[in-house]
Amino acid sequence: MTDNVNAESGKLNQFIERIERLESEKADLASDIREVFAEAKGQGFDVKVMRQVLKLRKMDPADRAETEFLRDEYKKLLGMTE
């Protein structure tokens, strides 16, 4: 029984250490991303719009088309068209 507990403890510890390492890497990547946004902002780009574009690029083309269609329809309903 003690061997089983030690084995399970070892496995659990490995999972925890892997997660901790990945969390650290994720924090480093988030910092790098913030730096890129800051650099883009410094060169005159609108970071808020860049984030919106990134979100759209992650979407499936059909979902993106539907979202853009609905957005345009809502704008029309609200009298926000040119």
Domain borders along the chain are 1-45, 46-82
What is residue 1's predicted lDDT score, i.e. its pLDDT?
64
Alpha helices in the chain (DSSP H): 2-42, 47-58, 61-77
Average pLDDT, the chain: 95
pLDDT per position as a tens digit, 21-47:
999 999 999 999 999 999 999 999 999
**37 contacts 44 by C-beta, under 8 angstroms:** no
Q: Structure tokens of 39?
A: 């650099």
What is residue 52's predicted lDDT score, i.e. its pLDDT?
95
